[in-house]
């Protein structure tokens, strides 16, 4: 952000620039969830293995989350608008490649490339936005619109995917990105200006490599062991991943300008805020994916009907995200964070009545998404602000970047860890004919008993995942109740100014 700029009311160009920026933001968010209902169709077309199916879902989130902070620093040094334009172009190319991928391996590769491009968009878009809105209050309002658009994109992803799949082939969920990409590339040079900041130090390439490789190797080991059982190669990958993450954490403590400032976690309010950014996204991504499979493969609903059932929860989440800032002004961030976790827990536990009976379950699913949507909406709205207000102003940028990174990593970890738990339970309790429910149901001449066993095993996995995530949210709600004092830096209004400055001047978060 240019601190020298004179505050002035935003004109038509600023609002049009905001509108243009929201397009890529919606795409990045939507592509994190658009496959939740599309996976049965993708599985039918490409026949991925159980661990490949999980990689298709979550490699995107891992790429975004592991590179957000790094690309924030690169944009500071070489120009935010330039990086934003390159990122959007690469996102479009990768989307076209994913749509036309002939097999699961290439689809995974293009999803990873989409994630790399997506990691360039969020911090750069926020910095460019801050140049358009130099007035602090209007900038805060624009950032609020930005955050609501991100939340709405993630919420409507399953619905958009279902709508497209009811009319077109599975690749259409990626091709829909191209018109938005082309429109942005045409309009951005006229509506947006370049933004650079003087930033001390440089991005540590070894830290980026260690964090990305450590995450991917560790998750690969977990997913491969869950799908096919433990092997020597799996164990070696897991050990290498853990060592890489340990090396990364140790290196950050020695660097003058680390990618992640771990000393921030000494503050309990900050720690609760970051975990609140991570855990709800993990629970949402895992249960949304598994519930989508349940609606289509257990209850036998067409993809369009399954998509329509996601609307109430998405609407509640989006509205909650918009009204939460006003609500927080009345009840405080502490009460909002605690309410967030207990709402999500209650919503997740409403999935427990789902069964293998094809004639029942939609009512429980809708109730679950509505109740949990209240908690998810609060999480989107208050996490970054709470994290930023819990630390000194000079560290606000690092806090905001960590809040955003926690959200993205949480989205990927939900599929990776909780999805792997469901896969493991299906492998242990299912009819042992294939690694996943959809693969089992495609076997010709399958006996009714085997179909029933496969569906029952899948529902057991869904129940265990929902119960585990719900218990974690209850525990975190109790932790917030104990750790966050009724009057603390993280529960007042001091963070708004810091958040605006952080998201404008560094690789800040959007939520």
Q: What is the pLDDT of residues 174-229, one digit of tens each?
A: 888 899 899 888 888 887 776 555 555 577 788 878 887 887 788 778 877 877 77
Which region, left, alpha or beta, applies to residue 361 given φ > 0 means left and ψ of -120 to 50 means alpha?
left
Residues with Cβ within 8 Å of residue 420, at least 6 apart in sequence: 54, 222, 223, 225, 226, 227
CA atoms within 13 A on the CB side of 195: 33
For residue 110, pLDDT beyond 90: yes
Residue 72 has a pLDDT of 64
507: confidence class by pLDDT, cuts 50, 70, 90: very low
Distance CA 498, CA 507 (A): 13
Average pLDDT over residues 422-428: 87
8: confidence class by pLDDT, cuts 50, 70, 90: low
Residue 400 has a pLDDT of 65
Q: Which helix (H) or strand (E) holds 20?
A: helix 12-30
User: Which phi and psi (to 5°) does residue 508 adopt?
Assistant: -80, 170
Question: First and final CA of the chain: distance in angstroms?
Answer: 19
Distance CA 139, CA 80 (A): 17
Hey, where are the domains in the chain?
Answer: 12-193+259-505, 204-258
CB 111 within 8 A of CB 151: no
Residue 144 has a pLDDT of 66
Residues with Cβ within 8 Å of residue 432, at least 6 apart in sequence: none
Identify the residue with better confidence: 91 or 445: 91
Residue 433 has a pLDDT of 80
DSSP state of 285: H
355: confidence class by pLDDT, cuts 50, 70, 90: confident
Average pLDDT over residues 262-279: 85
Average pLDDT over residues 323-351: 87
Alpha helices, DSSP H only, in 350-447?
362-389, 396-413, 419-429, 437-441
Which of the residue ranges 36-40, 215-219, 248-252, 400-404 has the most confident prediction, judged by mean pLDDT? 248-252
Residue 382 has a pLDDT of 79
Distance CA 49, CA 72 (A): 35
1: confidence class by pLDDT, cuts 50, 70, 90: very low
pTM of the complete model: 0.74
Q: What percent of the chain has pLDDT over 70?
A: 81
Residues with Cβ within 8 Å of residue 303, at least 6 apart in sequence: 37, 38, 40, 41, 162, 165, 166, 296
CATH superfamily of 12-193+259-505: MFS general substrate transporter like domains (1.20.1250.20)
**Residue holding tokens 């529960």?**
491
CA atoms within 13 A on the CB side of 425: 18
Residue 467 has a pLDDT of 95
Q: What distances in angstroms separate CA 169 from CA 97, 108, 156, 166, one per listed residue?
A: 15, 18, 19, 8
Distance CA 356, CA 359 (A): 9
Write a three-state SS string for 143-212: HHHHHHHHHHHHHHHHHHHHHHHCCCCCCHHHHCHHHHHHHHHHHHHHHCCCCCCCCCCCCCHHHHHHHH
Residue 176 has a pLDDT of 86
Average pLDDT, the chain: 79
Q: What percent of the chain has pLDDT over 90?
A: 14
Residues with Cβ within 8 Å of residue 278, at least 6 apart in sequence: 406, 407, 409, 410, 413
Distance CA 91, CA 172 (A): 15
Identify the residue with better confidence: 9 or 312: 312
Identify the residue with better confidence: 410 or 449: 449
Distance CA 415, CA 18 (A): 32
Tens of pLDDT along 68-88? 767 766 666 666 778 888 888
500: confidence class by pLDDT, cuts 50, 70, 90: very low
Residue 489 has a pLDDT of 44
- Tally the residues of the chain: 511
Q: 178-183: long-range contacts at Cβ-Cβ below 8 A with a sequence spacing of 24 or more?
A: 178/92, 178/95, 178/96, 180/23, 180/24, 180/26, 180/27, 181/24, 181/27, 181/88, 181/89, 181/91, 181/92, 181/95, 182/92, 183/20, 183/23
Q: What distances in angstroms separate CA 456 from CA 37, 133, 157, 299, 425, one per listed residue?
A: 20, 54, 28, 12, 11
Identify the residue with better confidence: 112 or 84: 112
Q: Which two tokens stand for residue 459?
A: 């529902």
Q: List the one residue out of 263, 145, 157, 258 whose CA is nearest residue 511.
A: 145
403: confidence class by pLDDT, cuts 50, 70, 90: confident
Q: Which two tokens stand for residue 432?
A: 């042992």
Distance CA 342, CA 336 (A): 10
Buried b (16+ CB within 10 A) or exposed e, 334-373: bbbbbbbbbbbbbbbbbbbebbbeeeebeebbbbbbbbbb
Identify the residue with better confidence: 380 or 182: 182
Rg (C-alpha) for the chain, rounded Å, is 22
Q: List the one residue out of 95, 160, 88 whose CA is nearest residue 118.
A: 88
DSSP state of 445: T
For residue 330, pLDDT beyond 60: yes
Tens of pLDDT along 119-166? 887 767 766 766 677 666 666 667 667 777 777 777 778 888 888 888
Average pLDDT over residues 96-111: 91
CB 57 within 8 A of CB 415: yes
């Amino acid at each position: 952000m240019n601190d020298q700029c004179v505050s002035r009311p935003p004109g038509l160009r600023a609002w049009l620039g905001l509108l243009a920026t929201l397009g890529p933001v919606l795409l990045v968010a939507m592509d994190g969830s658009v496959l939740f209902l599309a996976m049965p169709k993708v599985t039918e077309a490409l026949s991925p293995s159980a661990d490949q199916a999980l990689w298709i879902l979550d490699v995107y989130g891992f790429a975004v989350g592991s590179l957000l902070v790094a690309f924030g620093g690169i944009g500071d040094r070489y120009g935010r608008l330039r990086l934003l334009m390159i990122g959007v172009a690469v996102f479009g190319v990768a989307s076209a490649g994913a749509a036309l991928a002939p097999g699961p391996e290439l689809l995974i590769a293009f999803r990873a490339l989409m994630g790399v491009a997506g990691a360039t968009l969020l911090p750069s878009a926020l910095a460019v936005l801050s140049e358009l809105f130099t007035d602090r209050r209007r900038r805060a309002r624009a950032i609020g619109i930005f955050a609501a658009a991100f939340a709405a994109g993630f919420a409507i992803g399953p619905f958009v995917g279902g709508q497209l799949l009811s009319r077109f082939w599975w690749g259409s969920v990626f091709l829909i990105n191209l018109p938005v990409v082309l429109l942005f590339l045409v309009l951005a040079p006229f509506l947006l200006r370049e933004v650079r900041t003087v930033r001390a130090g440089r991005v540590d390439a070894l830290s980026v490599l260690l964090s990305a490789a450590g995450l991917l190797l560790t998750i690969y080991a977990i997913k491969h062991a869950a799908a096919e059982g433990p092997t020597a190669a799996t164990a070696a990958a897991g050990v290498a991943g853990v060592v890489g993450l340990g090396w990364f954490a140790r290196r950050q403590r020695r660097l003058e300008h680390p990618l992640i400032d771990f000393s921030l976690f000494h503050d309990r309010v900050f720690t609760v805020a970051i975990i609140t950014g991570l855990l709800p996204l993990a629970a949402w991504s895992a249960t949304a994916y598994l519930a989508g499979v349940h609606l289509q493969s257990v209850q036998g609903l067409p993809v369009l009907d399954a998509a329509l059932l996601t609307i109430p929860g998405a609407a509640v989440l989006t509205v909650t995200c918009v009204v939460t800032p006003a609500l927080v002004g009345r009840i405080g961030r502490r009460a909002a964070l605690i309410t967030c976790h207990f709402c999500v827990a209650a919503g997740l536990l409403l999935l427990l009545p789902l069964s293998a009976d094809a004639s029942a379950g939609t009512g429980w699913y809708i109730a679950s998404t509505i109740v949990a949507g209240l908690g998810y909406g609060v999480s989107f709205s208050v996490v970054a602000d709470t994290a930023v207000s819990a630390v000194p102003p000079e560290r606000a940028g690092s806090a905001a970047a960590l809040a955003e990174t926690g959200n993205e990593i949480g989205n990927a970890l939900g599929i990776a860890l909780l999805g792997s738990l469901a896969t493991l339970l299906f492998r242990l309790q299912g009819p042992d004919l294939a690694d996943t429910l959809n693969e089992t149901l495609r076997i010709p001449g399958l006996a009714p008993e085997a179909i029933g066993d496969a569906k029952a095993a899948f529902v057991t996995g869904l129940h265990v995942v929902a119960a585990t995530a719900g218990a974690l949210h209850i525990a975190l709600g109790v932790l917030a109740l104990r750790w966050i004092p009724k009057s603390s830096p993280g529960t007042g209004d001091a963070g708004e100014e810091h958040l605006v400055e952080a998201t404008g001047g560094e690789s800040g978060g959007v939520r």
